[in-house]
A and B are shown apart, each in its own frame.
Chain A
Amino acid sequence: MNIDHEYRTDISNGWTRKHILGLQDLSKDELNIILNQASEFKRLAAIGETKLTPLSGTVVANLFFEPSTRTRVSFGLAAKRLSADTVDFSSSGSSLSKGESFVDTAKTIEAMGVSYVVVRHKTPGAPQLLAQHLDANILNAGDGTHEHPTQALLDIFTIREHFGKIEGLTVTLVGDILHSRVARSNIWGLKKLGAHVIVCGPTTLIPSEISNLGVEVSNNLDDVISRTDCLNLLRIQFERQRGHFFPSIREYAHLFGMNKQRINKAKEDVLILAPGPINRGVEITPDVADGPHSVILGQVSNGLIIRMACLYLLHLQRTASLGIPG
């Protein structure tokens, strides 16, 4: 099979960025290049072209300093679909095992012939740090409470797939905005593509300065639901709450959970997204999660092609900068 030419031309034209560290840095055009590239991979997958070869002979390292099975598997599979070899490093404990710093660890792994590094870390800025110290192209797979660009891109991709556009839509992010890297990345991406973004949650979980990012702030889901085209229900991370951000799970579910009653107040074609493992009965009731408005599983498969698109674009940049003909 030789379909390489097709996905190499025009779609990716204009991609020059070495790293994907967050959506704050990316322009509208760059966001569209990634989304279009992902569409192309989705089209190829639909016609059975699941094993592509552009990255054959290269090594992608997945450095996971924070546990996440789903994201790690998704990135690993994305690399394999593009025929890259992969090395995995995961360490859930302290990233600073005595004497060896995070950068040292990454450099050691890079020395094994790695060209692309996918990094997940509990410290905000960790991918930026690697970008300063490594030659490899860095792809941020989530840095603390800072950004999670591929998750946001897959959310945005899913929304665009459903509505055929982003511009003019109203997207409401519900839940723990304070601790959410997914929310931050989504806000940057959605705003640049022309959406109106509402963040909605208890006052304790919405940073007061968030409105300066150009989003609308609401503490009442019922007030905003009827104007919302897409609801993105962020996961409540119980381990971060330690009991003082809201009084009880029951009360949270009562105020911000998505259930039948609320669906009835929503637009007829409202789209419901939920990144990551959901707490059924908290952010969303099972009937809604499995109902017609929800695209939760579709998000998972879109995650794979978004990650393929990101790796592929980094590969294009690398070969171009090394002067290897495309």
Chain B
Amino acid sequence: MKSILIKNGHIVDPSQNLDQQANLLIEDSKIKGLCDETTTADEVIDASGLIVSPGFIDIHVSLCEPGFEEDETIESGTAAALAGGVTSLGCMPNTSPVVDDRSSAEFILLQAARAANCHVFPLGAVTKNHEGKELAEIGQLVAGKAVGFTDADQPIENAEIMRCALQYTRMFDRPILNRAQVPELAEKGQMHEGFHSTVLGLKGIPAAAEEIMVNRDIALAELTRGRIHLMCISTQNSVSQIRRAKQKDIHVTADVTPHHLTLTDQMLETYDPHYKVLPPLRSQEHIDALIEGLKDGTIDAICSDHTPHASEKKTDEIIGADFGIIGLETLLPVCLQSLITPGHLTWSELIRKLTCGPAKILGLSKGTLAEGADADITLINPDIKYQLDPVSLKSSSQNTPFLGKELQGRAEIVLVSGEVRYRAEK
């Protein structure tokens, strides 16, 4: 029975309202609990100056295997996760073939076990081949350990299909994760519709494209009593609709990405395709509303929407370029920059959005340092400043607008199931 003592760290665990200087003991891959100075262990980790947090949980990650191994593999993607402090991730089913049957889900678990980096939780498709027409084998997928259902970046367009999906998944108490966007309003859109799209001559995607579907999904969740999770919400009006729905006890949850909290549509001025994401980067008043939503609990989690693209897919021309950026390795520093430094959230509030918040959405028994929990732990260095350099990225793709930028804060040491799986380079 191996024991590890994490000494002198600042323990922040929102699941137990812990925010204090203390020592933490791990025994046999599980959390044993807080302990005093005199406790001894097989291994001691000095956490002076570090924050000791439950390992981060990112429920919106594309790992691209099988089918798009030129972008990312389960091995490279989970290594990137570890380097970002993420110990559990929800893996998008947008592979080729799509994860719409049991064997596909099991393949992901097998590859994740071989990689032995972080925990991977497969998400299954809502519809066969993400076509939006027929329900995927949701029950079989649950048997294959799928923890939620989503057509990834493909919004579920047909309201009747969405209604059935919400009804059907109730049998398994699993959520549907939808990216809300009305396709006909977003068709050929490249960026947020507003002043900057007008000047740049790029076709815009109006905020209403998201808000209409947010409204629809909430109405269907109310109708079916199913669980809807809205991914990557990005507008002021989405936040207020979700806030109202929660007050009515409708089963709705929501997340936001760090880049939507930091970057505005003005960044597209350079026509740099690295700012081309879905939903599009919005204007400052939308960002302010998202931050309000995080503060008052309307938004439950922060997810990276890690979307790797080999460089040839982020072509130089903005119109031909694919949407999406990688995000696992910048998750923490970008949150720090947009939320902690300006004083919008405390560390405890931020860590909640990165740990027990997402765990609750997918029903995972993770995101806590409570006694008996798996010892998945991230030790955060909040002060370190560095430049994001392409060589140090563990992801096989480099499509991020933060490349070369000055960042602050990173995961210093990461434990998964009581094992040190990652240590930042000095």
The residues of A with any CB-CB pair to B shorter than 8 Å are 24, 95-96, 101-103, 121-126, 128-129, 133, 143-147, 181, 184, 207, 209-210, 212-213
B318 proximity list for chain A (CB < 8 A): 123-125
B194 proximity list for chain A (CB < 8 A): 209
Can you list 25 contacts pairing A with B, beta carbon distance less than 8 Å?
A: A24-B199, A95-B317, A95-B320, A96-B320, A101-B315, A101-B316, A102-B316, A121-B317, A123-B317, A123-B318, A123-B319, A123-B320, A124-B202, A125-B271, A129-B271, A129-B316, A143-B201, A144-B201, A144-B319, A145-B201, A147-B201, A181-B201, A209-B195, A212-B198, A213-B198
Pair B201/A124 contact, Cβ less than 8 Å:
yes
Please indicate which of the listed interface residues A95, A124, A146 has the most CB atoms of chain B within 10 Å of its own CB: A124
Q: How far is the CA of A96 from the CA of B195 in the complex (A)?
A: 29
B198 proximity list for chain A (CB < 8 A): 207, 209-210, 212-213
A209 proximity list for chain B (CB < 8 A): 194-195, 197-198
B316 proximity list for chain A (CB < 8 A): 101-103, 129, 133
Nearest 8 A/B pairs, CB to CB: A125-B271, A146-B201, A145-B201, A209-B195, A124-B201, A209-B198, A207-B198, A123-B317
- Contacts A24-B199, A129-B316 aside, 17 further interface pairs with beta carbons under 8 A come to A101-B312, A101-B315, A102-B315, A102-B316, A121-B317, A123-B318, A123-B319, A124-B201, A124-B318, A124-B319, A145-B202, A146-B202, A181-B201, A207-B198, A209-B194, A209-B198, A212-B198
Pair B317/A126 contact, Cβ less than 8 Å:
yes
Fill in one digit per residue for B261-295: 1 if any A CB lies within 8 Å of its CB, else 0.
Answer: 00000000011000000000000000000000000
Nearest CB to that of A129 among chain B residues? B316
Fill in one digit per residue for B308-349: 1 if any A CB lies within 8 Å of its CB, else 0.
Answer: 000010011111100000000000000000000000000000
Q: How far is the CA of A184 from the CA of B203 in the complex (A)?
A: 14
Q: Which of A102, A103, A184 contacts B201 (CB 8 A)?
A: A184
Please indicate which of the listed interface residues B199, B201, B318 has the most CB atoms of chain A within 10 Å of its own CB: B201
Q: How far is the CA of A64 from the CA of B197 in the complex (A)?
A: 24
Q: How far is the CA of A101 from the CA of B273 in the complex (A)?
A: 14
CB of B384 within 8 A of chain A?
no
Pair A96/B200 contact, Cβ less than 8 Å:
no
Q: How far is the CA of A133 from the CA of B199 in the complex (A)?
A: 23
Q: Which of A96, A122, A124, A207 contacts B315 (CB 8 A)?
A: A96
Say how far B342's CB is from chain A's closest CB, in angstroms. Answer: 27
Within 8 A of A (CB), among B186-201: 194-195, 197-201
The residues of B with any CB-CB pair to A shorter than 8 Å are 194-195, 197-203, 270-271, 312, 315-320
Say how far A271's CB is from chain B's closest CB, in angstroms. Answer: 26
Contacts A124-B271, A128-B271 known; A146 to B319 CB distance under 8 Å? no
Q: How far is the CA of A129 from the CA of B194 in the complex (A)?
A: 23
Nearest CB to that of B196 among chain A residues? A209
Nearest CB to that of B271 among chain A residues? A125
A96 proximity list for chain B (CB < 8 A): 315, 317, 320
Q: Which of B199, B271, B317 contacts A184 (CB 8 A)?
A: B199
Say how far A237's CB is from chain B's closest CB, in angstroms. Answer: 14
Pair A128/B202 contact, Cβ less than 8 Å:
no
Q: How far is the CA of A305 from the CA of B320 in the complex (A)?
A: 34
Q: How far is the CA of A121 from the CA of B198 in the complex (A)?
A: 18
Main secondary structure of the interface of B (DSSP, over half): loop
Q: How far is the CA of A122 from the CA of B201 in the complex (A)?
A: 11
A146 proximity list for chain B (CB < 8 A): 200-202
Pair B317/A102 contact, Cβ less than 8 Å:
yes
Q: How far is the CA of A144 from the CA of B201 in the complex (A)?
A: 7
Contacts A102-B316, A103-B316 known; A125 to B199 CB distance under 8 Å? no
Pair B199/A213 contact, Cβ less than 8 Å:
yes
Say how far A168's CB is from chain B's closest CB, in angstroms. Answer: 25
Say how far A63's CB is from chain B's closest CB, in angstroms. Answer: 13
A133 proximity list for chain B (CB < 8 A): 316
Say how far A147's CB is from chain B's closest CB, in angstroms. Answer: 7
A181 proximity list for chain B (CB < 8 A): 201
Pair B200/A122 contact, Cβ less than 8 Å:
no
Say how far B318's CB is from chain A's closest CB, in angstroms. Answer: 6
Q: How far is the CA of A122 from the CA of B270 in the complex (A)?
A: 17
A125 proximity list for chain B (CB < 8 A): 200, 271, 317-318
Nearest CB to that of B317 among chain A residues? A123
Pair B201/A128 contact, Cβ less than 8 Å:
no
A124 proximity list for chain B (CB < 8 A): 200-202, 271, 318-319
A213 proximity list for chain B (CB < 8 A): 198-199
Q: How far is the CA of A124 from the CA of B197 in the complex (A)?
A: 11
Pair B270/A128 contact, Cβ less than 8 Å:
yes
Q: How far is the CA of A31 from the CA of B317 in the complex (A)?
A: 28
Say how far B188's CB is from chain A's closest CB, in angstroms. Answer: 11
Q: Which of A122, A128, A147, A212 contacts B319 (CB 8 A)?
A: A122
Pair B201/A129 contact, Cβ less than 8 Å:
no
Say how far B197's CB is from chain A's closest CB, in angstroms. Answer: 8
Q: How far is the CA of A186 from the CA of B103 in the complex (A)?
A: 59
Please indicate which of the listed interface residues A121, A125, A143 has the most CB atoms of chain B within 10 Å of its own CB: A125
Say how far A105's CB is from chain B's closest CB, in angstroms. Answer: 11
B271 proximity list for chain A (CB < 8 A): 124-125, 128-129
Say how far A211's CB is from chain B's closest CB, in angstroms. Answer: 10
Nearest CB to that of A125 among chain B residues? B271
Nearest CB to that of A133 among chain B residues? B316
Q: How far is the CA of A137 from the CA of B320 in the complex (A)?
A: 24
Say how far B48's CB is from chain A's closest CB, in angstroms. Answer: 45
A122 proximity list for chain B (CB < 8 A): 319
B197 proximity list for chain A (CB < 8 A): 207, 209
Q: How far is the CA of A207 from the CA of B271 in the complex (A)?
A: 20
Contacts A124-B271, A209-B194 known; A129 to B317 CB distance under 8 Å? yes
A145 proximity list for chain B (CB < 8 A): 201-203
Say how far B399's CB is from chain A's closest CB, in angstroms. Answer: 15
B203 proximity list for chain A (CB < 8 A): 145
Q: How far is the CA of A236 from the CA of B194 in the complex (A)?
A: 23
Pair B195/A212 contact, Cβ less than 8 Å:
yes
A128 proximity list for chain B (CB < 8 A): 270-271
Q: How far is the CA of A103 from the CA of B273 in the complex (A)?
A: 14
B319 proximity list for chain A (CB < 8 A): 122-124, 144
Please indicate which of the listed interface residues A102, A129, A133, A147 has the most CB atoms of chain B within 10 Å of its own CB: A129
Say how far B183's CB is from chain A's closest CB, in angstroms. Answer: 15
Q: How far is the CA of A102 from the CA of B271 in the complex (A)?
A: 15
A207 proximity list for chain B (CB < 8 A): 197-198
Nearest CB to that of B319 among chain A residues? A123
Say how far B189's CB is from chain A's closest CB, in angstroms. Answer: 13
Q: How far is the CA of A210 from the CA of B197 in the complex (A)?
A: 10
